[in-house]
Structure 1
C-alpha cells in the first residue's frame, strides 16, 4: 500500500506522516466514544482511509509544515556552505588532501612497478643464456614490492588515525553530519503536533462517527396466541331458556259447552 502524494507533502516527510498516523490510531482506539464501539471500520480500514485523505489531513497543519520546510532548507544550505568553505580557502586542508591522495596512490604505483619488473625479470631468466640485467630487474622488482608493503602499512595507519580524529571531533561537537539543528527539530515537532490534533484525530473521529450502527425502531409486542383472528365472531350457542323468565307458564281454559238456549226435548219452550 502506498500513500497518495499531496501537493505540499514531500516524499521525505511521508515517514513522519505515517508515524503520526500510527499514534492517532492508537489514541483513537484508547479514547473511543462508547457510541462508536459498534462501528464497522477496523484499524487497517481507518489507516487506509487516512492515507487516501493525505491532502485533506495535512492541509489542517499547512502553516506549521511550510515553516518546517523553510527552516530545513535554510539549515541545509548553511551546512553545505560550511563544508565547501574550508575546501576552497584552506591551504592546510588542501595539503592534507594531497597527502591523503599520495598515501593512496603510492602503494598502487609501487605495486604496479614491482609486478612489471618481476614478471619481465623472470621471463628473461627463462632465456638461455639469460641476459645479465635479468637479475637486476628481479632485484629492483623485489625492492618495489617491499616499498609497496610499507606504503600499504603507512596508508592504513594514516587512515585509521584520521578516522579516530574525525570521530573524536564529532563527539566533541555534539553531533555529526546527520545532526538536526534545534530550531529545525522544534519546527518538526510543532508540525507533527498540529498534524495530530488538528488533522488526524478529527478526521478519524469523524470517520468513526459516520459508521455508527443505525438505531432500529422498537416493534410493538405481538400477540402470543397462535390462532389467527378471523373477521367474524362465532355463533351464539346459548340455550333458549337463557334470558327468559322461568316463572311464566302456559294457561289453558276448557271450552264452554253450555248455552242458555240449549236443552233437551223435555225442555221445549212453551
Structure 2
C-alpha cells in the first residue's frame, strides 16, 4: 500500500517517486554529506520523513516533472491516433488492389513455363517422328504444334515483361508515400527517446534538488531526533513532521506556571491557646 505522498504528483507517478527515494537511500553511502545515516536517523525513518514531506520535496523538480508529463501525454496521444488510423485502413473495406491481381500474376508466371514446356515436347516428338522410316503422317503436325507453343512462349514472356514494366511505373508514384511512412515509423522511436530523456531529467532534479538536500538537512537538524524531546517547529528547510515528543517539563523548569487552587488547612488552634487577643475573660 502506497502512502499519500507527493500530493501534486499523478497517481501513476507516486510509486516511481517512492522508488527514487529508496534508490537515494540505497546509494546514500556514496555521498559524504549523507554519511551520518544510522547515527540519529536510520534509513527507514528518513524514508518515512521524505514521503510524508510530499510536495515539499517534489516541488523542487516541478518544471522537469511538468515537461515529463507533457511529453508522455503527447506520446500516448500519437500512439492512440496511429492505432485509430491503422484500424480505419485495415477494417474500413478499402480495396488497395484489384481482385484479379493475384490470378493475373499467376497466369503471367505460369504461361511462359507451360507454353515453353509444351513447345519442347512437341518439337522433340515431331523431330523424332521425322527420323522414322516410313515417316508418320502426323510428324509435321507435331512440329507445327511445337512451333506454335514456342511462339506462345515468346508472347507470354513479352507480356510478362510489359506487365512488370507497368507495375514498376505504377509503384514509382508511391515511393514518396513509402518514404513518408518510413519517417512516421521512426517518429515513435524519437518520441520514446524524448520521453526517456524527460524522465531522466526529472529523476535527476528530484534527487539533486529535492531528496538529497532534504536528507542532508534532516541529518543536520537535531530538533527532529526521535530520541530527544524537541519543540514542534520547523528548523531550516525541514517542515514539522512529528518526529519529536511533547514536552513534559514541570512548571518550575520553564513555561508559564499553572494556576492551581490553594489547599491551605483551616486554623484548628483552641481558644485557650490562642494569641493575646483571644485571652479568656
For normalisation by structure 1, the TM-score amounts to 0.43
Q: Which has the higher contact order (CA 8 A, sep 6+)?
A: 1
Greater C-alpha radius of gyration: 1
For normalisation by structure 2, the TM-score amounts to 0.42
